[in-house]
Amino acid sequence: MSGPAALSGVMPTLGTMRPDDTAAATGRGTFPGLITREKEPLNLEFPFPTLEAPLVPTNRFYIRSHFPIPQLDTTSWRLHIGGEVREELNISYDELQNMPSKTVTATLECAGNGRARLTPKAKGLLWEQGAVGNAEWTGVPLSALLARAGIKAEAVEVIFEGADQGEIKEEPKSPGVIHFARSLPLAKANQGEVLVVYLMNGKPLSPEHGFPVRLVVPGWYGMASVKWLHKITVSATPFEGYWQTIEYAYWRREHGQPALTAITEMQVKAEIARPALHEVIPIGQPYRIFGAAWTGESEVTCVDVSTDNGSTWQPAELLDASTPFAWRMWEMTWTPHAPGRYTLMARATDRAGHTQPTEHTPDRRTYMINRISAVEVTAQ
């Protein structure tokens, strides 16, 4: 490890990915190279060191499931819109496809991405750095559907229910069988980039990614982008469901008192794709340090890289123009001149002035993990 000073509180380096962990097949689709975190329900991680381009191919995109994947078809599927509306709607798949559409490039990240880095060992799926991906999403703006139904004046939130269902038998237990469901404040639901999606990277959604239709909420953690969407309810009261107030919630302190609050916007974050953990780098030759950086409803404006465990930092080059809600590729050329172990780090900052912290606050529980991570390599 180079550099005389250690950066206090920096995440431990990631565990090694074994070859026998990096292939998965679901019976419906094959996902070469993805890391199996759980077989049932299906949870697969993108091996981040294999990142090549801004868009992650669909069969390489991480998969997050809470219950078994429901078997749905476009013929019988309907999207029901009800609650505090002037007209209840039941929209077919064909009808949805015939409405004016919009395509948004957006990064989705699981709120628990990076959980494997926490100490002591955390409960839950132990994602390393690859429960994140960037894709093109095509669908109908949610605001158009809500306008068609007609929102009543007393409405405050919109609840989204997926067709997936099951019972959580580990603590915190669910009250029997439940559907996955989340809500959005009405103002967020009416933002034009929030889509009811049927295409991912230009092709129909796969079952694993929410076929036939899912919600996509750019800028928010992935739990907001409800898959297998079949029901939208406009509500006059705040939603207090399991996935809103028990899981996917963090401790927010007001006047010194903690209260569980629903997780929403993604936190600013940069990850190193290459070099990979424990990679051997030749001395005296330029090496391209490469990765991606993203944030929530702002935009990444700078990425800094350290090759000496955080003692000094140099700016990386952002490789693409800023696009709202999409991550940005970055790189920096580095030439190690002496043999030994080096600890590399990347740190992102967004236009709102948010930058990555050096420690993870316990108030976030095992979610919203964006503290600076480290990649150890050897030069020889």
Intra-chain end-to-end CA distance of the chain, in Å: 13
DSSP states of 249-274: EEEEEETTEEEEEE--BPPPEEEEEE
Question: Predicted confidence band at 37 (pLDDT cuts at 50, 70, 90)?
Answer: very high
Q: What pLDDT does 292 receive?
A: 99
The mean pLDDT value for 71-84 works out to 98
pLDDT digits (tens, 9 = 90+) for 134-150: 999 999 999 999 999 99
192: phi then psi, degrees, rounded to nearest 5? -65, -20
Q: Regarding the domain delimited by 269-379, which CATH topology (the fold level of the hierarchy) does it fall under?
A: Immunoglobulin-like (2.60.40)
Q: What pLDDT does 20 receive?
A: 35
pLDDT digits (tens, 9 = 90+) for 354-370: 999 999 999 999 999 99
Tokens of 223: 């739990």
User: Closest Cα to residue 21, out of 43, 37, 5?
Assistant: 37
Q: What pLDDT does 17 receive?
A: 39
Question: Predicted confidence band at 12 (pLDDT cuts at 50, 70, 90)?
Answer: very low
Tokens of 354: 């948010």
Total length of the chain? 380
Q: Where in the chain is the domain with CATH 3.90.420.10?
A: 71-102+138-262
pLDDT greater than 50 at residue 206: yes
Q: Is the Cα torsion angle 207, 32, 26, 179 positive or negative in sign?
A: negative
The mean pLDDT value for 206-225 works out to 99
Q: Where in the chain is the domain with CATH 2.60.40.650?
A: 269-379
Question: Predicted confidence band at 28 (pLDDT cuts at 50, 70, 90)?
Answer: low
The mean pLDDT value for 39-45 works out to 97
CB-CB contact of 98 with 189 (8 Å):
no
The mean pLDDT value for 20-28 works out to 46
pLDDT digits (tens, 9 = 90+) for 249-306: 999 998 889 999 999 999 999 999 999 999 999 999 999 999 999 999 999 999 999 9
* C-alpha distance from residue 20 to each of 32, 37, 208, 276, 369 (Å): 12, 12, 21, 18, 27
370: phi then psi, degrees, rounded to nearest 5? -130, 15
CB-CB contact of 346 with 329 (8 Å):
no
CB-CB contact of 304 with 330 (8 Å):
no
pLDDT greater than 50 at residue 5: no
Give 95's Cβ-side CA count (13 Å radius): 12
CB-CB contact of 298 with 350 (8 Å):
yes
pLDDT greater than 70 at residue 31: yes
Which residue type is seen at 206?
S
pLDDT greater than 80 at residue 9: no
pLDDT greater than 60 at residue 114: yes
The mean pLDDT value for 317-345 works out to 98
The mean pLDDT value for 150-157 works out to 99
Residue spans of beta strands (DSSP E) within 190-339: 195-200, 203-204, 214-216, 229-235, 249-254, 257-262, 269-274, 280-281, 287-294, 300-306, 314-315, 317-318, 328-334
Which residue type is seen at 332?
M
Report the predicted TM-score, pTM, of the whole model to 2 decimal places.
0.92
Q: What pLDDT does 27 receive?
A: 46
Domain over 71-102+138-262 is classified CATH 3.90.420.10: yes
Question: Predicted confidence band at 7 (pLDDT cuts at 50, 70, 90)?
Answer: very low
Enumerate residues 6+ apart whose C-beta is below 8 A from 171.
Answer: none
DSSP conformational letter for 121: P
